[in-house]
Amino acid sequence: MLRSDHALAGLLVDLCPPDVSAFDRIRTEFYREEFLKHRDCLRRQRDAYSECTISGMEAALRHVMARVDELCANGSADLDQVVSGLLRSFDGVTKLSAWSDPPVTH
C-alpha cells in the first residue's frame, strides 16, 4: 500500500457520531466513494500529471474527505451543495464524468 493509500485509509473510519441519522451516514459514505473514484481515476492518469500535481490532488482529496465527515457530524444544511461543488472541481482535473459509458441509442 502506498503511503498516501495508508493515510487515506485512516479517513475511511466512520467519524460521524452515533446520533447521526442512517440517511446522513449513507449520504456521507456515498460522497466518500465518489472522492475515492476521483482518486483512482487520477492514479490511472498518473503519467499525464507531474508528481507535484498528483501529491497536491491526493492531499486535497484527503482534506475534503475529512471535511465531509466533519460536515456530517455538524449536521451542515449545505452539505450537498458543498460536496457537489467539490466533486465538480475534482472532475475538472480527473475528467471522471467523461469516462462513463455513453448511453446506447438505437
Residue 86 lies in a domain: yes
Q: For residue 59, what pLDDT band results from cuts at 50, 70 and 90?
A: very high
Residue 68 lies in a domain: yes
Residue 22 lies in a domain: no
- Judge contact between 19 and 28, C-beta under 8 A: no
Residue 58 lies in a domain: yes
Question: Quick one: what percent of the chain has pLDDT higher than 70?
Answer: 70
> Whole-angstrom Cα distance, residue 25 to residue 11?
14
Which H/E stretch holds residue 6? helix 3-9
Total domains in the fold of the chain: 1
The pLDDT value given to residue 95: 87
**How does pLDDT run across 61-104, given as a tens digit for each residue?**
888 888 877 777 776 677 788 888 888 988 888 888 887 655 55
The pLDDT value given to residue 3: 52
**Of 2-6, 20-24, 60-64, 94-98, minimum mean pLDDT range:** 2-6
Residue 35 lies in a domain: no
Strand ranges (DSSP E) for the chain? none
Cα dist from 94 to 18, 57, 83, 90, whole Å = 34, 10, 16, 6
Residue 21 lies in a domain: no
